[in-house]
Amino acid sequence: MDGRPALADSVVAFDDDVVLVGCLRDRDEAAFTWLLDRYDGCLRRVAMSYVGNRAIADEVVQETWMGVVSGIARFEGRSSVKTWIFRILVNIARARGIREHRSIPFASASRALEDGAGPAIDPDRFLTAPAADPTGHWVSFPLAWEHEPEERLEAAETVAVMREAMADLPPAQREVMTLRDVDGWTSVEVCDALNISETNQRVLLHRARSKVRRALEQYFEGASA
């Protein structure tokens, strides 16, 4: 061990890619276990959005980890370990998606952007008739959720409505929203892993959130009607 701190008491140091990669190359099992526990769930969620079948997602994740094992020696540190692993997964999942005849997120960035494009809020909710009032202000305000009891906002059922709304999103939007909002990735990490521009990432995220917001709004309004 070339001057790195003793690993038994430095688990936190795996957050540092330089330490992590060094340990992985030294076949430090604690480092690999840390990686496995940290990213396996996230990899599974994203694999699901490509292949839509738990058994196949399971194989994709397994193949990804094997790719990590065999590829770590060639990892050049141009991206973070996290996005490197993720790109391995995306490539395997895309190949499987083709085999399973599923639509492929990001096959074409422009197509992905057109997919499910639409305004964040139904235009009928704004004053737009040019002669009457071209200001684009609200016809009626959206129902403020702060009037919903807190326990209802946080209820498992609300989370279930949200999960369903996300499942209905076009794949590229679901992908970005899953990584950003469910797994808490930064926009830089998402752009890097999915190889999309910052602008495309924001557009996809905005469309995804807008649709999920709409689904939650309908759920709350329907339930309080």
Partner 1 sequence: MTTNVPQPPPEDDLPCAVFVEMVTDYLEGSIPGDLRVRLEQHLAICPGCTSVLDQIDRLIRLAGRITEDDVDALQPAQRDEILAAFRQARHPD
Which residues are at the interface with partner 1 (CB under 8 A)?
Answer: 25, 27, 29, 32-33, 36, 40-41, 44-45, 48, 54, 57-58, 61-62, 65-66, 69-70, 73-74, 119-121, 123, 126-129, 132-133, 135-146, 153-154, 158-159, 162-163, 166, 177, 181-182, 184, 187, 198, 202, 205-206, 209-210, 212-213, 216-217
Cβ at position 215, least distance to partner 1 in Å = 9
Which residue do the tokens 């930064």 mark? 186
Burial (CB < 10 A; 0-12, 13-18, 19+), residue 55, is exposed
Cβ at position 164, least distance to partner 1 in Å = 11
Cβ at position 47, least distance to partner 1 in Å = 8
Cβ at position 192, least distance to partner 1 in Å = 16
> CA 80, 83, 87: angle at the middle one, nearest 5?
135
Q: Which is nearer to partner 1, 107 or 139 (CB)?
A: 139
Cβ at position 77, least distance to partner 1 in Å = 16
Instruction: Report helix, strand or coil for 81.
Output: helix
Q: Which is nearer to partner 1, 107 or 114 (CB)?
A: 114
Q: Which is nearer to partner 1, 48 or 81 (CB)?
A: 48
CA distance 81 to 24: 11
Residues sharing a CB contact under 8 Å with residue 46, sequence separation 6 or more, in sequence order: 86, 89, 90, 93, 175, 178, 179
Q: Which is nearer to partner 1, 107 or 198 (CB)?
A: 198
Q: Which is nearer to partner 1, 66 or 107 (CB)?
A: 66
- The answer to whether 49 and 174 have CB atoms below 8 angstroms apart is yes
Please give the structure tokens belonging to residue 31: 């480092």
Q: Which is nearer to partner 1, 17 or 217 (CB)?
A: 217
CA atoms within 13 A on the CB side of 94: 14
CA atoms within 13 A on the CB side of 82: 19
Cβ at position 75, least distance to partner 1 in Å = 11
